[in-house]
Amino acid sequence: MFIPKAIYYEKNIEDYELGRVLLEKYKDIPKITIENHNNIEEMRKKSNSEFADMKKNLIIGIRKTHKFTENHKTSDFLVPYTSSGCTAMCMYCYLVCNYNKCAYLRLFVNREQMLEKIIKVAQKSERELTFEIGSNSDLILENMITGNLIWTIENFANTKKVF
Ligand code: SF4
């Protein structure tokens, strides 16, 4: 089980159900408020050698970018979803290449908004589409903290044309 050393969070996560759940779940963990999960000055100043220690923190915010990227390999679209980065440190992981020392786990609590967009795009399409929601993180690992994998599957279950 992942128990964060500290939680860095955007204040307005309190406006979202999942944000409130996480704040309650980690009520005994030290917390630091941040302006933007993308730009945490304290983290940016740390040296690369602090990588492992930075991974012990959990960052919680609101995802602001919802742009789908066309993908012609494993799916139709790579979709920004509920997390970026990861708490683990697999040596082969490409997340380190993408985020360097800031490859720590960031969670985004506006999951309803993200899922709603996927469903809308799917239902507008004349053919069946596949959306890849785990290209920026590890959803199984994230699920242990948020329950988002189950939440997503349950919400997809009653939706036509979404795989
Ligand atoms: S995203 Fe997967 S491969 Fe990468 S560090 Fe996390 S668990 Fe390992």
Tens-place pLDDT, residues 29-51: 999 999 999 999 999 999 999 99
Angle at 134 between CA 148 and CA 137, to 5 degrees: 85
Alpha carbon of 135 to ligand 1 centroid (Å):
10
Q: What is the pLDDT of residue 156?
A: 82
- Highest mean pLDDT: which range of 6-15, 82-91, 132-141: 6-15
CATH number of 7-157: 3.40.50.12110
Q: Are 17 and 68 in contact (CB under 8 A)?
A: no
Of 54, 81, 91, 95, the one to substitute when testing ligand 1's pocket (max ligand atoms within 8 A of C-beta) is: 95
* pLDDT at 118 (0 to 100): 92
Tell me, in angstroms, the distance from the centre of ligand 1 to residue 160's CA.
31
Residue closest to 42 by CA, chosen among 29, 54, 27, 58: 54
Question: Which atom of ligand 1 is closest in space to residue 87's alpha carbon?
Answer: 6
CA–chain centroid gap for 13, Å, is 13
| Residue 138 alpha carbon, nearest atom of ligand 1 | 1
* Closest Cα to atom 3 of ligand 1: 93
Cβ(29)–Cβ(6) below 8 Å: yes
Whether 86 lines ligand 1, by a CB cut-off of 6 Å, is: yes
Give pLDDT tens digits for 134-150.
989 999 999 999 999 99
What integer best gives the mean pLDDT of the chain? 93
pLDDT at 161 over 70: no
pTM for this prediction: 0.93
Residue 158 neighbours by CB distance under 10 Å: 7
| Backbone Cα Rg of the chain | 16
